[in-house]
Amino acid sequence: MKYSVRILDIATRSGILLNYLDARNIGVLDGDRVQLINPKNSLAVTAVVTTTSTLEGQGTAGVYRGTNRRLNLTEGEEIEIREADRPASLDFIKKKMDGGRLTKEETLTIIKDVVNDEISAAELTAFITASYINPLDMEEVEHLTRAMVETGERIKFASRPIVDKHSIGGVPGNKISLLVVPIIAASGLKIPKTSSRAITGAGGTADLMEVLANVEFSAREVQEMTEKVGGTIVWGGATNIAPADDRIILQEYPFKIDARGQMLASVMAKKYAVGANLVVIDIPVGSHTKVPTVQEGRKLAREFIELGERLGMKVECALTYGDIPVGYSIGPNLEVREALRVLEGATEPNSFIQKSVSLAGIALEMSGKAARGTGAQMAQDILSSGKALEKFRQIIEIQGGDPKVKSEDILPGEHQFVVNAPASGYIVEMNNVSLITLARLAGAPHDRGAGILLHAKKGTLIKAGEPLFTIYAEREWRLQKAVEEGRHLVPVLVEGMLLDRVPSQSEV
Amino acid sequence: MKYSVRILDIATRSGILLNYLDARNIGVLDGDRVQLINPKNSLAVTAVVTTTSTLEGQGTAGVYRGTNRRLNLTEGEEIEIREADRPASLDFIKKKMDGGRLTKEETLTIIKDVVNDEISAAELTAFITASYINPLDMEEVEHLTRAMVETGERIKFASRPIVDKHSIGGVPGNKISLLVVPIIAASGLKIPKTSSRAITGAGGTADLMEVLANVEFSAREVQEMTEKVGGTIVWGGATNIAPADDRIILQEYPFKIDARGQMLASVMAKKYAVGANLVVIDIPVGSHTKVPTVQEGRKLAREFIELGERLGMKVECALTYGDIPVGYSIGPNLEVREALRVLEGATEPNSFIQKSVSLAGIALEMSGKAARGTGAQMAQDILSSGKALEKFRQIIEIQGGDPKVKSEDILPGEHQFVVNAPASGYIVEMNNVSLITLARLAGAPHDRGAGILLHAKKGTLIKAGEPLFTIYAEREWRLQKAVEEGRHLVPVLVEGMLLDRVPSQSEV
């Protein structure tokens, strides 16, 4: 039967909205599937049905934007709708629920249906939950990685090596890509870096780079820019590289899970799809990160290396200290300012510089540019010489930003609140999770100027009344919220501090 | 901040639709939660956010109907929206994913959020998947049952006993409630039966009863009708009894799963909520049903009995033969006609009558109305005497139907196709799943006249060319579809039939 189309623009939703009488007539219930056919060009997709008794009259059909991507319908055009079979993906997901192992073909079928929005968010969540409880083995992870690559755009460079770098995350202020990418590119290697925006963090690398330049480019543009200047720092979400991954992450988000198999596949699919064959993985280890112990970090490292071997990629991992923030800044503008200062010649903060040159050094050694044991020094030399700054400016320029930008141009939010040490003593703990929460309360990452600037780090002796950190915000109410709700977060702990005061019964 | 409300009427969806700029301003992403406050009456609910760039302008907010149920907003009114905390339910679901056991309070929190649409369909699916893979133990099942009861309407009768009956399902043509309920009510016992509509079947008891009377009543009306005539046969979905269950079943549907713990809780919560203290459970056993072996049937029976004890209810289970349909009819009108004929005095089909009086007899014995071993005979007497028919007419009348209805008034669809035996021999197999599929292809349960009438059952000797079964449909195209797509289903297998013919290579 034919229906008149209305386009429904709702993010992260897909499928078709039908009047319940039309649905009954077609023979489907809410959650069933129909085949949608564009009679103009014979494009056909399967879509999950939702029903309404008022929003669509009989004879009209609301097609969600995500579903229309592959149909190319415009408002008012005609569409043909038929009952569709239940997708085989659901049986494969059920197999995983029942503890089975998925074949290459089964995995590809699921991931194709994910990318084409032919299975619902709830059905995808069942797959994620099943794979979290019944973990994927390394062969299944390889299948998943390849399926993620095959269902998205790919970049093929004419020559190798192609370097890439990834940080597992969980550490605030981890702005090292802003140094690593220009250092690598300045050495003559190619590094087409795609990054994420923060979902639970205070600023992903893409959020940071967006302070300086555009970050939304197609895979083809990433390739061209990398050919020209040696590197990019773009948002992966815009490239359509491994698009299944974004959908998986969105469904993992409510439960704060990061199923091992999906995580390995997610990272490596993006590296594989951009053509990288030399990959450095930064695994921050610490009690408030995703990897609490060195033992677990080593295990994860071995898994990355094995998956790399299966895919024909050379992988090295660096276990890094992740118990406290990298550098002194958290939040887009503050972090970008800190990175620019180092590129401009600042020799502090040491933690940030050392981590960046160490990771860049590993890639330089893997590529043969530097001999074993000399990579970090070569990276430091590139940084100190100003070549990394020059390269970073080329990258900013090719991504449409202002290459003349200076660190002093980048300002934090105008509203600020200084938190002073309530007692004298050593700073004995910094809580990554609390620091990120505080930065987010202040508005990061959406408000680029929001964030936290630390004035001292773990191990420092501080006197009562001296500043511990400053909270910055672009909006007054955001600052207030961060200050009020932040009182109980204790992001920085000074040895002599009272953690709580319990009054005697009589005083209550 | 305040927004102007638009009501979004989309079934099975809930939450709020915001312009992405408003969402960013509030500080939330797709999938995050906000608190919605009706400033008029201070009602507040939590809702999951979806975003749009065109469907809502800045300053307007689309509130899904399901979410508005607890806010009572009308179009154009003002609503206040604030960022909300992540619900604790998500942590409890995560705990179940990680193999933990849920406490009574944790379970209640999850089920409250399910009923109030404060967790999304995807999040509920994660809970279902986790409970399927890491099964609930009996204590957790008890918690779940009580939580389902507490979050819905309840019926409290002044006196007991209150009888109830449930069939696990999976057997086509299982219309026995249409006999059991009037027999029990005619004996003087009370049986406030709530039933389901078919989701994957060819007709649930509620679909059948709807041929004769209204089935949508509130819990209070069910109570009043039961007080007056002794019994009801209504659709549970309209009563708001154990409403969490419908939402769980909807999410299980794509995967055709029926997690043991959820199933036990689902059945017993409905019985508990209507105040039943004597419960008979019909467990059909057979290779094409939900319970393939007698051993598994006994295990399930013990679980129902134990759960009943925990809830203070007496439960008996009957393992029944479930390998072939009950009676000769499948589909609403055909089944209702067959049941009315038996109530009117027909002494066939034996399978249908025997099963019905056996189950009714168990309840009569449990209540003390009949001595052990004499319940089935008492049920048969009530049936043969015409008292069950008289009672059924009272039930039809009080539910708004025509009490003078006769079996010959109920007609199957006018389009029919007779399938003849392709060979002579004994009928060696009937496939429940194929029969249901065929009835659904013909339009059941939506088209009340659609279905299948069997002309012979398993074990019968049949000659080539004699009718095996007739497919009925209300619409010609539905009949064609059933006939065409049904060719490969082989719902009835005659010993001498060729199952397939494989031509030699040269003939291809």
Give the closest of B10, B199, B256 to A17, CB-based: B10
Please check the confidence at residue A505 and state whether its pLDDT lies above 60: no
Instruction: Answer for the pair A369, A187: CB distance below 8 angstroms, yes or no.
Output: yes
Give the closest of B86, B250, B254 to A90, CB-based: B254
Supply the CATH number for residue A456's domain: 3.90.1170.30
| Digit-coded pLDDT (tens) for A324-374 | 899 999 999 999 999 999 999 999 999 899 999 999 999 999 999 999 999
Q: How far is A263 from chain B (nearest CA, A)?
A: 17
Q: Which of A414, A417, A475 is nearest to A443 (CA)?
A: A475
Specify the higher pLDDT residue, B42 or A138. Answer: A138
Question: B200 CB near a chain A CB, below 8 Å?
Answer: no
Asked if residue B505 is part of any domain, the answer here is no
Beta-ladder partners of A44: A37
Asked if residue A98 is part of any domain, the answer here is yes
Q: Which of B259, B263, B310 is nearest to B134 (CA)?
A: B259
Domain count, chain B: 4
Q: How far is A178 from chain B (nearest CA, A)?
A: 26
Please check the confidence at residue A503 and state whether its pLDDT lies above 80: no
Chain B (19-48) residues lying within 8 Å, Cβ to Cβ, of chain A: 20, 24, 27, 29-31
Query: Is the domain of B262 the same as that of B392?
Result: yes
* Binding-site annotation, residues of A: 170, 196-201, 205, 266, 290
Query: Is the domain of B74 the same as that of B218?
Result: no
Asked if residue B443 is part of any domain, the answer here is yes
Please list, in sequence order, all residues whose beta carbon lies within 8 angstroms of the beta carbon of residue B354, skipping any fewer than 6 positions away.
none
pLDDT at B504: 61
- Which of A1, A6, A9, A10 would you mutate first to test chain B, the one with the most B CBs within 10 A? A10
Please answer yes or no on whether B11 and A50 come within 8 Å at the CB atom: yes
pLDDT in single tens digits along all 508 residues of chain B: 788 887 888 877 788 999 988 988 888 888 889 999 988 888 888 998 988 888 888 888 998 888 888 888 888 888 999 888 889 999 999 999 999 999 999 999 999 999 988 898 999 999 999 999 999 999 999 999 999 999 999 999 999 999 999 999 778 999 999 999 999 999 999 999 999 888 778 899 999 999 999 999 999 999 999 999 999 999 998 999 999 998 898 888 888 888 899 999 999 999 999 999 999 999 999 887 889 899 999 999 999 999 999 999 999 999 998 888 999 999 999 999 999 999 999 999 998 999 999 999 999 999 999 999 999 999 999 999 999 999 999 999 999 999 999 999 999 999 999 999 888 889 988 889 899 999 999 999 989 999 999 999 888 899 999 999 999 999 998 999 999 888 888 888 888 666 556 666 544 4
Query: Is the domain of A8 the same as that of A92?
Result: no
The tokens for A40 are 């103009």
Rounded Cα distance between B375 and B384, Å, is 14
Query: Is the domain of A227 the same as that of A370?
Result: yes
Q: Are strands A33-37 and A415-420 parallel, antiparallel or unpaired?
A: unpaired
DSSP string spanning A474-489? SSHHHHHHHHHHGGGT
Give the closest of B31, B250, B255 to A12, CB-based: B31
Instruction: Answer for the pair B171, B290: CB distance below 8 angstroms, yes or no.
Output: no
> How remote is the C-alpha of B69 from its chain's centroid?
23
Closest chain B residue to A119, measured at CA: B254
Q: Are strands B60-64 and B2-8 parallel, antiparallel or unpaired?
A: parallel
Query: Is the domain of B48 the same as that of B178?
Result: no
Specify the higher pLDDT residue, A53 or B139. Answer: B139
Asked if residue A141 is part of any domain, the answer here is no
Please answer yes or no on whether A51 and B11 come within 8 Å at the CB atom: yes
The tokens for B19 are 């312009």
Query: Is the domain of A123 the same as that of A73?
Result: no
Query: Is the domain of B215 the same as that of B272?
Result: yes
In the residue annotation, A258 being an active-site residue is answered as: yes
The tokens for A310 are 């299966």
Q: Which of B300, B306, B271, B265 is nearest to B147 (CA)?
A: B265
Once rounded to an integer, what is the mean pLDDT over residues A91-118?
Answer: 96
Query: Is the domain of A324 the same as that of A183?
Result: yes
Preceding peptide of B284 cis, ω within 30°: no
Rounded Cα distance between A206 and B167, Å, is 56
Please answer yes or no on whether A254 and B86 come within 8 Å at the CB atom: yes
Query: Is the domain of B95 the same as that of B29?
Result: no
Give the closest of A50, A93, A128 to B10, CB-based: A50
Rounded Cα distance between A130 and A96, Å, is 6
Rounded Cα distance between A263 and A274, Å, is 17
Mean pLDDT, rounded, of chain A: 92
Give the closest of B11, B86, B478 to A30, CB-based: B11
Enclosing domain of residue A117: 88-134
| Digit-coded pLDDT (tens) for B291-349 | 989 999 999 999 999 999 999 999 999 999 888 899 999 999 999 999 999 999 999 99
pLDDT at B502: 66
Query: Is the domain of B435 the same as that of B377?
Result: no
Asked if residue A340 is part of any domain, the answer here is yes
Query: Is the domain of A71 the same as that of A95?
Result: no
Classify A257 as helix, strand or coil: coil
| Digit-coded pLDDT (tens) for A272-323 | 999 999 999 999 998 878 898 999 999 999 999 999 999 999 999 999 988 8
Domain end marker among A401, A430, A457: A401
Query: Is the domain of A203 the same as that of A294?
Result: yes
Asked if residue B208 is part of any domain, the answer here is yes
CA angle B75, B78, B84 (to 5 degrees): 110
Asked if residue A406 is part of any domain, the answer here is no
Rounded Cα distance between B106 and B111, Å, is 9
Q: How far is A250 from chain B (nearest CA, A)?
A: 8
CA angle B201, B169, B491 (to 5 degrees): 55
Chain A (441-500) residues lying within 8 Å, Cβ to Cβ, of chain B: 443, 446, 478
Once rounded to an integer, what is the mean pLDDT over residues A435-458?
Answer: 93
Please check the confidence at residue A412 and state whether its pLDDT lies above 90: yes
Question: B11 CB near a chain A CB, below 8 Å?
Answer: yes
Rounded Cα distance between A375 and A366, Å, is 9
Q: How far is A420 from chain B (nearest CA, A)?
A: 27
Query: For residue B237, which residues of chain A lie inside 8 Å, CB to CB?
Result: none
pLDDT band at A508 (very low <50, low <70, confident <90, very high): very low
The tokens for A492 are 């920085």
pLDDT at B39: 87
Domain end marker among A375, A401, A427: A401
First to last CA, chain A: 73
Q: Which of A76, A89, A80, A69 is nearest to A34 (CA)?
A: A80
Please answer yes or no on whether A121 and B123 come within 8 Å at the CB atom: no
Once rounded to an integer, what is the mean pLDDT over residues A137-149?
Answer: 98
| Digit-coded pLDDT (tens) for A191-245 | 999 998 887 788 999 999 999 999 999 999 999 999 999 999 999 989 999 999 9
CA distances from B149 to B142, B192, B303 (A): 11, 16, 19
Question: A255 CB near a chain B CB, below 8 Å?
Answer: yes
Rounded Cα distance between A360 and A357, Å, is 5
Rounded Cα distance between A192 and A160, Å, is 12
Preceding peptide of B445 cis, ω within 30°: yes
Domain end marker among A345, A373, A401: A401
- Percentage of residues in chain A with pLDDT exceeding 90? 66
Asked if residue B147 is part of any domain, the answer here is no
Classify B205 as helix, strand or coil: helix
3-state helix/strand/coil string of B223-243: HHHHHHHCEEEEEHHHCCCCH
| Digit-coded pLDDT (tens) for A161-185 | 999 999 997 789 999 999 999 999 9
Supply the CATH number for residue B370's domain: 3.40.1030.10
CA angle B203, B204, B208 (to 5 degrees): 75
Supply the CATH number for residue B28's domain: 2.40.40.20
